Chain A
Amino acid sequence: MQNVSPADTMDDRANGVAITLKLFGGFRRHLPAESEGHACEIEVPRGSTPGHVLAHFHISTEGAVVLINGLTAGLDCPLEAGDVLAAFPSLAGG
């Protein structure tokens, strides 16, 4: 499990929530090397948002589409335990 912290502060691990992170398309290369398919399990500090998570993985939020549990979500939506956070570059065709 990866630990993610918002900005540059390290929070107490006991306050972490476990989420699934999925990265599609050109974002996929940012997944940890050992990830299978498009997903990895990570732990994030309580109150983390998609914006925090993308920043941790060095993914620019500009032009990123973010879904939480398959639903349209904002970058500042607080993540909860068991959430599935998916992100992909905003490009269309198919």
Chain B
Amino acid sequence: MFGWHGKVLRIDLAHETTRVEEIDPQTARDYIGGRGWAIKVLSDEVDPRVDPLSPENHLIFSTGPLTGTPAPTGNRFMVTTKAPLTGAIACSNSGGMYPTEMKRTGIDMIVFEGRADRPVYVWINVSEADDDPQVDIRPADHLWGERVPETTETLLAETDEKARVACIGPAGERLVKMASIMNDKHRAAGRSGVGAVMGSKNLKAVVVRGTKGVELAEPDAMRDLCAEVRREVAADVKKGSSLRDYGTAYVPIVTNELGILPTRNFQTGVFEGVEGITGVVLTEEYLIRPKACYGCPIACGRRTTLEGTPYGGEGEGPEYETIASLGSACGLDDLGAVTKANYLCNELGLDTISAGMTIACAMEMAEKGILSDDEVGMKLRFGDSDAVIRLVEQMALREGFGDVLAEGSYRMAEQYGHPELAVTAKKQEFPGYDPRGSKGMGLLYATSNVGASHMAGDLAYMEVFGVPVKLDPLSLERKPWYIKHFEDLFTIIDAAGLCVFLSIRYLCDATEDVMPGRMARLLNLATGAEYTVESLLEAGDRVYTLERLFLTKAGFSREDDTLPKRMLEEPMPEGPAKGHVVELDEMLPEFYELRGWDEDGVPTRKKLTELGLV
């Protein structure tokens, strides 16, 4: 096979056995890779009603056919499982160096099954001479309780200094509902509690080292296409039209201008303190240098430091989502504090978005007298930096009130009789775009298979950023079509092993229909698969629909495709989106129809037949 190795590593943690299987070429093509292969396995083998933290849940790491190839940003992997936070599926994506190294072991996908009876880590190691990798399951008692940086350092010393490490921190070990899996110390497969699934399996880390290349169907043509893309990226970097300039930290000033920056638990979309948390502040006060994932020409990452400030420490980030959730949503206008909270989340293995938005929810509850200072263990009000930093730590360690926060904002708010104050969809906290001022995002959050997520089909690209063309964020026009299309596009990107930051702007046609012309070509040159734009979109639809079926069997229905009252009924109080709510019931029926689902949001038999799912 080309692009894909065609190999799946199965690790039975209960019996500590491993085996390598081959995937058949038709399945490989029909599901593309990454996220697509993972849902096929999950669907075939895991009862959608299982307890996500039980041994019966699988944890799947999967790269795509473009991971580890010369494709610019062909450097990503997906973590897929049934999610503890939502009970739906989790598809958490990450870049850095780890995914490329994992692909170099000659394996496309790893399926972790069962639960080890003591803490373990897995060490996967291969050289050119070997056919299949060497897989060791080793004791990890000495690592249990350790934070991400220390765990990573210890494991590199025990295995190979050139290896790459994916691990959980104390949050995953303690089954915190928004625990992340961290790779390369600072990159996160963040959302939905994938770290807790890993912790429930007593799996502390997965270390990889490999030197195998990826076979390409048309290496010369692929090299030429990749060079063309890189030239375009370089030209944009040169003219100051690149994420390299400020990282994603350039976004708060933009979303604030549109009046959709989450502020004080989404009470408004305009933050008076925004100038304290911008990319300019990050560059002037904390930036060491930009940072790239493996082979990426953009370098949106930020290597930063708090040395010389009262906070201390160093690391990477913060990203926009972190600035919105741990910053403006909590009323913080101090980027130093946000950066510190960000470092702590990375060290402890905690999703910054859910952590910040959960604290924001607690802040609103405290200000309204629903939570007392005694219960929280401190006075908790919007704008309190020290409280955010302390609560992040408590949440990760399940200490004090952190044990309540660790369950996520929905369960916390429900426990205190006010579930409407949790700004979530399917119990997952919203990301950094208030949908009352970005209506497509509202439909996305409500319908995404992972709960509220911007990465499930980020129409903010068009509604906010004008990539490739600008849509009016306050209009409902054509949004159902766009959300289905973007959900399918982002599914393809996740399955292919690419980064969205490059793929929409440089691998899709720059017209209002955003067709993945160059993306199909790149995949074909790598794999020899002969996708057309139509068949590629159909494959994305197939994966997305299979995920939806899993949710249906897990008990989700149209009732769950909804948004909090605040979004549906409380008009935005100020700013350009003043007076707006999300008119979800004006968009949902058309969305279901376009998807080929019935009025209850269930894929019809006709649709399943078309996609070959029946």
Question: Taking beta carbons and an 8 Å cutoff, which residues of A are in contact with B?
Answer: 22, 24-29, 37-38, 60, 63, 65, 67, 69-72, 86, 88-94
Contact = CB atoms under 8 A, between A and B. Distances in A.
A89 to B, nearest CB: 4
B505 A92 contact: yes
Contacts of B471: 72
A2 to B, nearest CB: 20
B472 A72 contact: yes
B156 interface: no
A43 B231 CA distance: 39
B300 interface: yes
Interface string B457-471: 010110011111011
B270 to A, nearest CB: 9
Contacts of B472: 72
Contacts of B474: 71
B402 interface: no
Contact of B275 (A38, A63, A65, A93): A38
Given A28-B280, A38-B275, A38-B280, A91 B258 contact: no
B251 A94 contact: yes
A25 B473 CA distance: 20
Given A28-B280, A38-B280, A67 B257 contact: yes
Contacts of A63: 241
Contacts of B465: 65, 90-93
B453 interface: no
A25 B250 contact: yes
Closest 9 CB pairs of A and B: A70-B576, A94-B320, A26-B240, A94-B248, A92-B465, A94-B251, A89-B241, A65-B466, A90-B466
A24 B254 contact: yes
B504 interface: yes
A76 to B, nearest CB: 15
B432 A25 contact: no
Contacts of A92: 458, 460-461, 464-467, 501, 504-505
B364 interface: no
Contacts of A91: 236, 241-243, 465, 467, 505
A71 B280 contact: no
Nearest to B242: A91
Given A86-B257, A90-B465, A91-B236, A25 B470 contact: no
B333 interface: no
B254 A93 contact: no
Given A38-B278, A91-B467, A93-B243, 13 more contacts: A22-B253, A24-B257, A25-B246, A25-B250, A26-B240, A37-B278, A65-B470, A71-B576, A90-B241, A92-B465, A92-B505, A93-B300, A94-B432
B245 A25 contact: yes
B248 A26 contact: no
B69 to A, nearest CB: 22
Given A24-B253, A26-B242, A63-B241, A70 B259 contact: yes
Contact of B321 (A25, A29, A94): A94
Contacts, number: 93
Interface residues of B, number: 46
A20 to B, nearest CB: 11
Contacts of A24: 250, 253-254, 257
Contacts of B287: none
A26 B280 contact: no
Given A38-B253, A65-B465, A94-B432, A70 B258 contact: yes
A62 to B, nearest CB: 9
B246 A72 contact: no
Contacts of A88: 250, 254
21 contacts: A22-B253, A25-B250, A29-B240, A37-B278, A38-B278, A67-B258, A72-B473, A86-B257, A88-B254, A90-B467, A91-B241, A91-B243, A92-B501, A92-B505, A93-B251, A93-B300, A93-B320, A93-B465, A94-B248, A94-B321, A94-B432
A69 B248 contact: no
B172 interface: no
Instruction: Among A67, A69, A89, find the residue whose CB has the most chain B CB atoms closer than 10 A.
Output: A89
Nearest to B260: A70
Nearest to B250: A25
A94 to B, nearest CB: 3
Contact of B470 (A26, A60, A72): A72
B300 A22 contact: no
B321 to A, nearest CB: 7
B33 interface: no
Instruction: Among B300, B470, B505, find the residue whose CB has the most chain A CB atoms closer than 10 A.
Output: B470
A65 B254 CA distance: 10
Interface in B220-269: 236, 239-243, 245-246, 248-251, 253-254, 257-259
A57 B459 CA distance: 30
A88 B279 CA distance: 13
Interface in B555-573: none
A32 B254 CA distance: 20
B296 to A, nearest CB: 12
Given A90-B241, A92-B467, A25 B576 contact: no
Given A63-B241, A89-B240, A69 B576 contact: yes
Interface in B443-483: 458, 460-461, 464-468, 470-474
Given A71-B576, A89-B240, A94-B319, A25 B257 contact: no
A51 to B, nearest CB: 15
Interface in B565-593: 575-577
